[in-house]
């Protein structure tokens, strides 16, 4: 969680640097969805992109399940040594660690409701959380991973039905 907090602080600093001082109210950012591309081939898996600090902090927590063929991507502007937790996530996840250049470094099985920290094996530019059933058939051939075309996913960051400004 300390790694996630450091990344969140870095993202906040970048986000604040681009803010205007015009006193305009902040707008709610809808969750963007992109296809999972494995070894330069699109897959049927649609990932919600945690593109804001609130979305990254909320992740897939506080929900009952994850629909098949959906997950969440956590992109980072620069390579970071990151870690994730499952303390408020009630279903198993596989996290795929992606380094610079889209290289799949490894994946880690994460236990539901665990307070353990799951650290990346090296600096990463992308982490992808999805069900072990969806990752299993892909794991043996995974060399590179990236985000592809826009897709129609249903997953949002954080509690279903709430926008990032509400949690």
3-state secondary structure of 5: helix
pLDDT at 164: 52
Take residue 56 and report the two structure tokens written for it: 């990254």
Distance of CA 119 to the CA centre of its chain: 14
- 101-122 pLDDT, tens per residue? 999 999 999 999 999 999 999 9
> What does the alpha-carbon distance between residue 60 and residue 123 come to, in Å, rounded to a whole number?
22
Please state, in angstroms and rounded to a whole number, the distance separating the CA atoms of residues 146 and 137.
17
User: What pLDDT shows up at residue 23?
Assistant: 38
For 75, half-sphere exposure in the C-beta direction (CA atoms, 13 angstrom radius) is 17
Q: Which of 46, 37, 38 is nearest to 140 (CA)?
A: 38
User: DSSP characters for 90-150?
Assistant: -S-EEEEEE-GGGBEEEEEEE-TT----EE-SS-EEEEEEE-HHHHHHHHTT-SBEEEEEE
Quick: pLDDT tens for 131-161. Answer: 999 999 999 999 999 999 999 999 987 766 6
The answer to whether the pTM exceeds 0.95 is no
Domains of the chain with CATH codes: 2-18+29-155 (2.60.120.1140)
Percent of the chain having pLDDT more than 90? Answer: 66
């Amino acid at each position: 969680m300390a790694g996630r907090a450091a990344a969140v602080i870095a993202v906040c600093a970048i986000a604040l640097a681009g803010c205007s001082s015009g006193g305009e109210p902040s707008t709610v950012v809808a969750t963007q969805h992109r296809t999972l591309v494995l070894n330069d081939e699109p897959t049927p898996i649609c990932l919600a992109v945690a593109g804001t600090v609130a979305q990254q902090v909320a992740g897939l927590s506080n929900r009952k399940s994850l629909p098949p063929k959906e997950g969440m991507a956590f992109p980072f502007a620069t390579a970071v040594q990151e870690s994730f937790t499952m303390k408020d996530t009630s279903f198993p996840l596989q996290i795929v660690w992606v380094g610079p250049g889209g290289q799949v470094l490894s994946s880690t099985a994460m236990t539901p409701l665990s307070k353990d920290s799951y650290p990346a094996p090296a600096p990463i530019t992308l982490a992808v959380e999805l069900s072990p059933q969806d990752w299993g058939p892909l794991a043996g051939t995974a060399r590179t991973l990236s985000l592809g075309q826009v897709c129609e996913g249903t997953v949002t960051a954080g509690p279903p039905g709430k926008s990032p400004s509400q949690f």
